[in-house]
Amino acid sequence: MDPKPDFGEETYKGLGRLKDKVAIVTGGDSGIGRAVCLAYAREGADVAVSYLNEHEDAAETKRVVEAAGRKCLLIPGDLTEESVCKKVIDETVSKLGKIDILVNNAAFQGKAEEDFAKLTHDRVKKTFNTNIVCMFDLVRFALPHFKEGASIINSASVQAYTPSDQILDYACTKGAIVAFTKGLSQSFIEKGIRVNAVAPGPVLTPLVVASFGEEKIRDFGKTCPMGRPAMPSELAPSYVFLATDESRFVTGEILAVTGGKITA
């Protein structure tokens, strides 16, 4: 990608706010996920990285996590399969000992289509299974391992509020994630488990290139009020805040990081 997304390797400074915590980050091989893994490691957490099959990208995430002096567990597999969701949880507990934070960030965003008819049954099913159905599975399998103070953070999107018809399947899943976050937060309050989401605006990630093509990256994000897309490194602090004790009175919240685009 040109420009290359900044995930914070040269800029993020940790303060030990997640010392000895264990976090799972799905889709942690690149983009926002990698930025979150790096930030969590520099805050003192060990990280389990769930990813599909991008082994070289995942290895880069592992490099920066271990450079921060923390453990990094790589768990490849397709989260649309229930058994893989269970494997992610089981391997994390087996090899890292516990789960304090679950970041549901993995997503599929297909090619932008001008023609609604091209949003086929199979594509819509894949998008929903990847983006929202697996969240139900991951949380269900993780729940027995959560203790009071645990945090679930979901990746929503500005698309939940201002959906693009060209990626309507993706936008609809992000709306579902908003509802999932708010509903789950109420179910888990008495358990002492907080559930929140981050709703990014335009962010320069490989997901964008996959949908819109490299030729459109030059103008990507210029219509947002700040006139540019965010870098992944600019999203990571929000995920850190929602994982730390600093947000102990925050649950059911959708934290918009949109460069000024209003979401409500």
- What would the two tokens of residue 172 be? 């609809």
* Burial 56-69, CB ≥16 within 10 A → b, else e: ebbeebbebbeebe
In terms of residues, how long is the chain?
Answer: 264
Among this protein's residues, is 170 annotated catalytic? Answer: yes
Give 219's contacts (C-beta < 8 A, 6+ positions apart).
none
Q: Which is catalytic among the residues 12, 161, 170, 239?
A: 170
Q: What amino acid positions are annotated as catalytic residues?
A: 170
